[in-house]
Amino acid sequence: MSRRYGLARVLSKRGVCSRTQAAQWIRDGRVAIGGRVIRDPEHPTSPDETAISVDGRPLAATAAIHLMLNKPRGLVTTAADERGRDTVYRCFDGADLGWIAPVGRLDKASEGLLLFSNDPQWAARITDPETGPDKTYHVQVDAIPDAAALSALMAGIASDGIRLSAKSARVLRTGEKNAWLEIVLDEGRNRQIRRLLEAFDIEVLRLVRVAIGELALGELPKRQWRRLTPEEAARLSPL
């Protein structure tokens, strides 16, 4: 007998909508199995159940969507912001993509490569700190770090009981008073690069994610997006 999950989780795993949205649909009486309305989001359900319907329509197989966006500064990585700020979904205005969710996040002041998908399992493999791909950032700072400072970034710091460090850090180019660094992370914690640099009194002027694993941002214009090829998606998140 196959493992069973809560109905809301099954809908999410099949890329229909977010788990939170699925739970609300179920409580609203919009979801049925075999014609019987289910109102419990935790109702035990097989992931392969074929008799699920939403609003009276059978649940069709959902094609996997994997895409990349060049996120500009000033947008929040969330579906809806309680403070009314513009979100990354503004970049998809007019696109008929169905439900998609960010894979990881970039804070409001950060920019660059951000992935989206309707496949939670694919996304979980990418964001897994143990097995997920490295993330590469180009960071403009208000100082010119020397070799000792770069080594300290890689040695890391303790912040709120968590160890923060860079997998690698090097200077890309320098000006009179600032520099661009390339910093690679093998895990992604909230504001990790900003917190790490702040510990050494270095201010971030710009932060751009330029690659996730082998997938590079390249020449994709700001606010623009494109679908990943099947090969790109597979390399990012191998089974």
3-class SS string, the chain: CCCCEEHHHHHHHCCCCCHHHHHHHHHCCCEEECCEECCCCCCEECCCCCCEEECCEECCCCCCCEEEEEECCCCECCCCCCCCCCEHHHHHCCCCCCCCEEECCCCCCCEEEEEEECCHHHHHHHHCCCCCCCEEEEEEECCCCCHHHHHHHHHCEEECCEEECCCEEEEEEECCCCEEEEEEECCCCCCHHHHHHHCCCCCEEEEEEEEECCEECCCCCCCCEEECCHHHHHHHCCC
* pTM tops 0.85: no
Residues 200, 183 share a domain: yes
The whole-number pLDDT of residue 46 equals 86
The whole-number pLDDT of residue 1 equals 47
CATH number for 195:
3.30.2350.10
Residues 159, 117 share a domain: no
Averaged pLDDT for residues 16-45: 93
Predicted confidence (pLDDT) at residue 226 exceeds the cutoff of 90: yes
CATH number for 113:
3.30.70.580
Residues 44, 153 share a domain: no
Averaged pLDDT for residues 197-219: 96
Q: Is residue 99 within 8 Å of residue 22, measured between CB atoms? A: no
Averaged pLDDT for residues 222-238: 94
Counting the structural domains of the chain, the total is 3
**Known catalytic residues?**
107
The whole-number pLDDT of residue 209 equals 98
The whole-number pLDDT of residue 2 equals 61
Averaged pLDDT for residues 23-33: 95
- Pick from 166, 169, 173, 178: nearest CA to 202: 178
Residues 30, 16 share a domain: yes
Residues 183, 121 share a domain: no
Residues 223, 196 share a domain: no
Averaged pLDDT for residues 163-175: 94
The whole-number pLDDT of residue 239 equals 67
- Structural domain including 22 reads 5-58
Residues 125, 27 share a domain: no
Residues 23, 89 share a domain: no
pLDDT tens profile 140-156: 999 999 999 999 999 99
pLDDT tens profile 53-69: 999 988 876 788 999 99
β-pair type (204-212, 111-117): parallel
Strand partners, 162: 159
